[in-house]
Structure 1
């Protein structure tokens, strides 16, 4: 808000002024885009690993004898 006070000519749109000074309209940093791509790749790997884990648990359950539940504990 100090920047607004120090402006010799007041802006027409307060919202545009705030966006400009808070960095909301700043151009994307290449590092940010690289990080977004990395996050997307990690999400895909995570989903694939969840599916593999589910498949392996099902397969393991097929080979394991059923567990007996103890009552009264």
Structure 2
């Protein structure tokens, strides 16, 4: 994602970092100095579906 704003031609880039199967970090950087100006993490709890048997896991889950 790149945003061009005003006469100064600021370019912002977003970077995505994957830590494991449950966490994703989004960082927004200013290209002129490379510093991180905003970031947020998306995380989730989930069951390992490979460990489920027919009777041990629910048929559906609710996202939160």
More strand by share: 2
More helix by share: 1
Of structures 1 and 2, the one scoring higher in RCO (CA 8 A, sep 6+) is 2
TM over 0.5: no
Larger Cα-atom Rg = 1
Give the structure-2-normalised TM-score: 0.28
Give the structure-1-normalised TM-score: 0.26
